Amino acid sequence: MKNVLQLSLLLAALVSCQKDNSVEPNADAYPQTWQLVKLTSDWTNVVKTGADLPWQETYVFQADSTFTKTRQQGDQLLQAKGTFSLRNFSEGQYATLTYAAASSLIGSCTTSTLKETLVLQPDQTLVSTWRACDGPGLEYKKVK
């Protein structure tokens, strides 16, 4: 747990102290749809993929820096919207999502925030940073 706290503090320091490394979205690259492909639980050492996932989830990013997150769990459909910004750091590209309203879909280390952070990995996987504070490990692949 101590390492997780240190990692969270390091990430916060990197985001707040680095010069502005903002990236403007390339309009030709959008819209982008990212689908949940893997869920990892550090508590139970369980990894779920495909049809074994407890829910289906997508992010759709638009060229105007807006996004929609959708989760289908059984017959329940949840959706949340907001804006995103991209930043480049030495560790990779980060997307900071700012939701328009509170939602149970926000995967964040702080329950009182409207922000969520995702990291674009070198293997073109989008990964939630929620895992750093004992949340599930969520990985997404671009489907279009």
| Digit-coded pLDDT (tens) for 96-113 | 999 999 999 999 988 778
| CA distances, 20 to each of 86, 122, 128 (Å) | 11, 21, 22
Residue 87 has pLDDT above 50, yes or no: yes
Structure tokens at 115: 């922000």
Amino acid at 17: C
* pLDDT given at position 110: 83
**pLDDT, tens digit, for every residue of 31-77?**
999 999 999 987 788 999 999 999 999 999 999 999 999 999 999 99
Contact by Cβ (8 Å): 59, 86: no
pTM of the model: 0.80
Structure tokens at 118: 């995702």
**Phi, psi dihedral angles at 72 (to 5 degrees):** -110, 115
